[in-house]
Amino acid sequence: MENVSVRKIKNCRLCHSKNLKNLFNLKSTPPANSYVKKSDLNKNLKIFKLSLNLCKNCGHMQLGHLVDRRKIFSNYLYKTNTGKQNLIHFEKYAKKIQKYYLKKNKKYKILDIASNDGTFLSFFNKKKFLRIGIDPAKNLKKLVEKKGIKQIASFFTEKNSIKILRKYGKFEIITANHVCAHLENLYDFFYGVEKLLTRDGIFIFEVGYRLNVIKKKTFDTIYHEHIDYHCLKPVVKFAKNFNLELFDFDLVEAQGGSIRFYLCRKNEKKIKINKINKQIKIEKKYKLFLNKTYYLYFKNIMKIKNNLKKILLKYKKKNTEIAGYGAPAKATTFTYFFELDKNIIKYIFDDSKIKQGKFTPGKKIPIINPKYFNLYRPDIVIVLAWNYYKDIIKKNKNLDYKPKFLIPFPKVKIL
């Protein structure tokens, strides 16, 4: 874990203002995706501060510290999006975009940034679209190109955008899904996009929506990979720095509730101003731009933490065997903040083959294939992927015994 650097973020990442207000501090954690191999169990992971700031100038919310992304993403590179829900999401999304381009009889160019294994691009008709992806995961390039999609194995930066421009020209469509909250330099990224967009082209980016973090209380989606917590109002203003305009948006279910922003060059598209203003009003109604909202939010998480601890201690005393279910990245924030370690949770079941046999970051809780559920027979299962608890319970209803499922959040519940 040497050479890991972390620095304080002193300016708003969207408007550069120094007027930042600290909202709350979560527990320091290691990078949320740094699952540990058995052979590395003796090494201790470095932990980093995890705090949130609100920009009092434009209303943007961001982390207080930035961890070197080379460390964070080294484990990310192997992630592929093959979950069924995710495939349906991408297919619907691609269909919607293609509808705009059905009329004209020509070939269009689409660039997908952070294209991963090419899943999203594969839903674009190859006769109608020249499909190009860019992603730093070198190991995915071959796999993607087998699908007839060109893949550039690198990060997307302004510098790289010039190379792409020379080779492929400009693009009618540029997309970036679940990457614009992870960028070290947002401005550099947007300058690159702006260079590559045709005059009437569209840039679409999807990110987790801050309103959902507040409304659905998904505080565990706060971890070092997610530097920015976007919502409409600040982004409308931010786009203007690049002579871009937000002309539409969609609210979608992906990743626990996301927002998809549609941007174009200035004066190129009709702006859905009523729709946008209506949503900004909702953001204000939920008081997304007031410090107090977050103080109360934090207080609520603390209350649940204390309540959960009491319940778990009671069970521990009775020698109950407690397991967890689901070890997504957000479980790192969750287990650290709620102080759930090996002494409380003996092991965690997770469906992901990549994680099975490994240990959770820092807390070193073993991750086990759920097919061994009947063998291990825990008495209580804490659902760590708590926002999917219905699916998890449904999936495990045919066990040969009846364990209790504990939903820790947004209110402790035992089913």
**Sites of contact with Zn ion (CB under 5 A):** 12, 14-15, 17, 55, 57-58, 60
Amino acid type, 38: K
Residue among 170, 125, 169 nearest 149 (CA): 125
Strand order across the beta sheet in which 108-113 lies: 150-152, 129-134, 108-113, 171-177, 197-208, 258-265, 244-252
**CB of 406 vs Zn ion, minimal distance in Å:** 39
| Cβ closest to Zn ion, residue 233 vs residue 260 | 233
Q: Tokens for 395?
A: 């999936």
Torsion from C-alpha of 96, 156, 31, 223, nearest 10 degrees: -50
Residue with tokens 């319940």: 311
Pairwise CA distance, residues 342 & 366, whole Å: 8
**CB of 117 vs Zn ion, minimal distance in Å:** 34
- What is the Cα gyration radius of the chain? 22
**CB of 58 vs Zn ion, minimal distance in Å:** 3
| Cβ closest to Zn ion, residue 108 vs residue 242 | 242
| Cβ closest to Zn ion, residue 60 vs residue 109 | 60
| Cβ closest to Zn ion, residue 185 vs residue 343 | 185
| Cβ closest to Zn ion, residue 58 vs residue 196 | 58
Residues ≥6 apart with Cβ < 8 Å to 105: none
Q: Tokens for 336?
A: 């650290």
**CB of 289 vs Zn ion, minimal distance in Å:** 11
**CB of 405 vs Zn ion, minimal distance in Å:** 41
Pairwise CA distance, residues 22 & 27, whole Å: 14
**CB of 11 vs Zn ion, minimal distance in Å:** 8
Is 335:365 a contact under the CB 8 Å cutoff? yes
Q: Which helix (H) or strand (E) holds 368?
A: strand 367-368
Pairwise CA distance, residues 185 & 302, whole Å: 33
Pairwise CA distance, residues 222 & 304, whole Å: 17
| Cβ closest to Zn ion, residue 18 vs residue 314 | 18
Measuring CA to CA, how many Å separate 38 from each of 43, 293, 358, 361?
A: 10, 42, 6, 12
Pairwise CA distance, residues 249 & 231, whole Å: 11
**CB of 10 vs Zn ion, minimal distance in Å:** 12
| Cβ closest to Zn ion, residue 261 vs residue 334 | 261
Q: Which helix (H) or strand (E) holds 127?
A: none
Is 341:362 a contact under the CB 8 Å cutoff? no
Q: Output DSSP code: residue 36.
A: B
- Residue 277, helix vs strand vs coil: helix
| Cβ closest to Zn ion, residue 12 vs residue 121 | 12
Ranges of beta strands (E only) in 97-252 are 108-113, 129-134, 150-152, 171-177, 197-208, 228-229, 244-252
| Cβ closest to Zn ion, residue 154 vs residue 241 | 241
| Cβ closest to Zn ion, residue 55 vs residue 222 | 55
| Cβ closest to Zn ion, residue 54 vs residue 196 | 54
Q: How far is CA 13 from the centre of its chain?
A: 18
